[in-house]
Amino acid sequence: MIQIYNTLTREKEIFQPIEAGKVRMYVCGPTVYNYIHIGNARSSMAFDTIRRYLEYRGYEVNYVSNFTDVDDKIIRAAKDLGITAPEVADRFIHAFEEDTNMLNVKPATLHPRVMDHMPDILTFIQTLIDKGYAYTSQGDVYYRTRKFEGYGKLSHQSIDELEVGASQRTGVEKELKEDPLDFALWKGAKEGEISWDSPWGAGRPGWHIECSVMATKHLGDTIDIHGGGQDLEFPHHENEIAQSEAKTGQKFANYWMHNGFVTIGEDDEKMSKSLGNFVTVHELVKQVDPQVLRFFMATTQYRRPIRYSETTMKEAGVNLQKLKNAFENLSFRKADAAIQLDEDSQKLQELADLEARFTTEMDDDFNAANGITVVYELAKWLNQYSEQEIVSTTVTEKALEQFSQWLSIFGIFFLSEELLDDDIDQLIEERNQARKNRDFARSDEIRDLLKDRGITLEDTAQGTRWRRSE
């Protein structure tokens, strides 16, 4: 029984999806104005691991993660690069896809973009105006924060505490607001910037509105899980709740999940572009194995901070190699494995016992640190079993399958000379999703990988079939 730490209640709660066997999950994606650093990538990898584990437990996960392709930072980048804002977005969406593919992050079921949802955004804002939750002011539209009862419930801040901070703000925008706490839903156009027509004049959406629009449009008024980095808890996610629940009258998300920061240096300073202390995935994967980076990131419980350093990366590489050695040791014995019915039941029970422990640990708020400890125990089991004089075909295949399944949850794939059927099916599923997202480079990469392993794919109207070469 899966338990999730819900930021909204500050407690672990038993996970009960809205629809049995299915999960509606929205995770805030990147603002695409530059290459992602490993702090950004931590969120992608953490929620990919959570998604993979939910699928391992039998859930069908509808996973939506947006691209913010309209933003002040994108506009500034466009000016610096001498290209348009859409061209900046296209360039760095492609870079994001390349980087996350190398980290074995599965493409989302859907990656919606702000620019593709302008009519939906305008309709959403107009509804808030009609309900009295928003107002116009010289071409801008603002949300009346005080009108929403319970504002601050996610970040556990009172309206009085927020008012003290907001009252310190100055500038033109403050003069346009009825209250310093109000936030922008629509920003009037500035000369030379990208804009869209609206009932309130040319402009572009505020940051917070996009996720409310895309989450409710593609997943429904109430979703199961909403995720993102801890830095989004306030104000972004707080504002999403206010907007969404004011419009629909329904609870926006049942479970709120936030991943911890990546820190760097002796002072454990948060990694960020604004502080200039970041390491981009684009550059790092030129120096280290992407699987090592994924293993390093994915095997810490998602809410915990991760301290990045060359030392911790090297430790991750050593540990990953130990797991790979265990996999290869037993894979090598497959060729001389035999039917050993007299020992199968005992060994299969040992594997089942380990599986029960793994599930127990991961069911506890996706505790990857404890889960990977059980994976290490299975690796030790593989090593000991591979040293036996005779190994069982049934036990060997089951052990390798279980080991591969668990590692795939963390985004780690070791391919034996002869791929297991489950390995092939998983790669085909990833290829199908890549094609759906029009990521043809990744689709071709998977096809070529399978071809090199002697697997031929046939795309038919009924789906993708595969066969082993003679």
Residue 201 Ramachandran class (φ > 0 left, ψ -120 to 50 alpha, else beta): left
Summary mean pLDDT of the chain? 91
73 is in an annotated binding site: no
Instruction: Give pTM, 2 decimals.
Output: 0.87
What would you report as the CA-atom Rg of the chain, rounded to the nearest whole angstrom?
Answer: 24
State the Cα–Cα distance between residues 419 and 11, nearest whole angstrom: 42
The answer to whether residue 53 sits within a structural domain is yes
- What does the block give as tokens for 94? 């492609």
The answer to whether residue 4 sits within a structural domain is no
**400 and 428 together in one domain:** no
| Across 99-103, 221-225, 362-366, least confident range | 99-103
The answer to whether residue 393 sits within a structural domain is yes
**225 and 370 together in one domain:** no
**263 and 373 together in one domain:** no
Query: Regarding predicted confidence, which is higher, 414 or 442?
Result: 414
Q: What is the CATH number of the domain that holds 90?
A: 3.40.50.620
Q: Is the pLDDT of residue 462 over 80?
A: no
pLDDT of residue 437: 78
Please state the domain count of the chain. 3
Q: Is the pLDDT of residue 231 over 70?
A: yes
pLDDT of residue 340: 61
The residue out of 364, 379, 408 marking a domain boundary is 408
Cβ count near 372 (within 10 Å): 25
The answer to whether residue 2 sits within a structural domain is no
Domain that holds residue 326: 315-408
CA distances in angstroms from 14 to 10, 153, 364, 421, listed in the order given: 13, 20, 9, 33
pLDDT of residue 273: 57
Average pLDDT in the 298-309 region?
94
240 is in an annotated binding site: yes
pLDDT of residue 342: 61
pLDDT tier at 119 (50, 70, 90 boundaries)? very high
28 is in an annotated binding site: yes
**146 and 248 together in one domain:** yes
**247 and 206 together in one domain:** yes
| Across 64-68, 406-410, 462-466, least confident range | 462-466
- Pick from 27, 57, 102: nearest CA to 292: 102
Q: How does pLDDT run across 198-227, given as a tens digit for each residue?
A: 999 999 999 899 999 999 999 999 999 999
The residue out of 384, 408, 432 marking a domain boundary is 408
The answer to whether residue 436 sits within a structural domain is yes
**428 and 404 together in one domain:** no
**259 and 330 together in one domain:** no
Query: Regarding predicted confidence, which is higher, 437 or 330?
Result: 330
**237 and 274 together in one domain:** yes
**221 and 369 together in one domain:** no
**349 and 230 together in one domain:** no
The sheet carrying 306-308 orders its strands as 269-270, 262-264, 306-308
Q: How does pLDDT run across 52-98, given as a tens digit for each residue?
A: 999 999 999 999 999 999 999 999 999 999 999 999 999 999 999 99
Angle, in degrees to the nearest 10, between helices 393-409 and 341-363:
10
The answer to whether residue 308 sits within a structural domain is no
**205 and 259 together in one domain:** yes
**219 and 367 together in one domain:** no
pLDDT tier at 126 (50, 70, 90 boundaries)? very high
Q: How does pLDDT run across 155-185, given as a tens digit for each residue?
A: 999 887 787 655 555 566 778 899 999 999 9
State the Cα–Cα distance between residues 19 and 105, nearest whole angstrom: 25
The residue out of 284, 300, 327 marking a domain boundary is 284
The answer to whether residue 309 sits within a structural domain is no
CA distances in angstroms from 433 to 55, 102, 439, listed in the order given: 15, 16, 9
pLDDT tier at 389 (50, 70, 90 boundaries)? confident
Q: What is the CATH number of the domain that holds 371?
A: 1.20.120
Q: Is the pLDDT of residue 244 over 90?
A: yes
First to last CA, the chain: 44
The answer to whether residue 210 sits within a structural domain is yes
